[in-house]
Amino acid sequence: MRKLLVFNSVTVDGYFTDVKGGMSWAHQQDPEWNEFTKENAKSGGELLFGRVTYDLMKGFWPTPAAAEHFPVVAKQMNDAPKIVFSRTMDQPTWNNTRLIKGDLPDAVRKLKGESGEDLVLLGSGSIVSQLAPEGVIDEYQIIVNPIVLGAGRTMFDGVREKLRLRPTRTRTFANGNVLICYQPIT
């Protein structure tokens, strides 16, 4: 059975996006961080996105700028198998992408039951907030960025019940980012 991992950045005050939905604050470059993101992208997995995050990723990773500035990650993002969850999209246009409509938790349960690499949910706060209470997320890999926004949106907007998590590992980077991994306590 495949696992579902969430990999997202948040601010010290817990925001996943700024008030305009932006995440430019999450892009702090330094050699150690760049190496980590390159290696992390190599770990594989089928990438999952909501439509908004899919459109943002599709708008950047296939571009010449992405290939020039982040050649390894751009290749991995473009070559990776991808799934976009959308009720409104007719046809995905980014290569290696399949579209899933319908009941989100049931679709994820079916995906987890398939053979293959783990599933990795990037961004897509509305998808995280729908799946978290359903108990289908196996691990949260959260990058805490050393910045306070004061306002924005959390990736758990709309979650009504407590989710108990236990930390499994941490790592601190020279740029101030801290990776904290959690597993749900069932």
φ/ψ of residue 136, rounded to 5? -100, -5
Task: Tell me how far apart the alpha carbons of residues 137 and 155 are, in angstroms, rounded to a whole number.
Answer: 13
User: Which of helix, strand or coil describes residue 183?
Assistant: strand
Residue 53 CB coordination number (10 Å): 22
Overall pTM surpassing 0.95 (yes/no):
no
Six-digit token string for 24: 């430019």
pLDDT by residue, tens only, the chain of 186 residues: 899 999 999 999 999 999 988 888 887 777 887 788 777 766 678 999 999 889 989 999 999 999 998 888 889 899 999 999 999 999 999 999 999 998 999 999 999 999 989 999 988 888 999 999 999 999 999 999 999 999 999 999 889 999 999 999 999 999 999 999 999 998
Domains of the chain: 4-141+150-156 (3.40.430.10)
- E strands in 25-94: 46-50, 82-85
Strand duo 178-184 + 4-11: pairing: unpaired
8 Å CB contact between 153 and 179: no
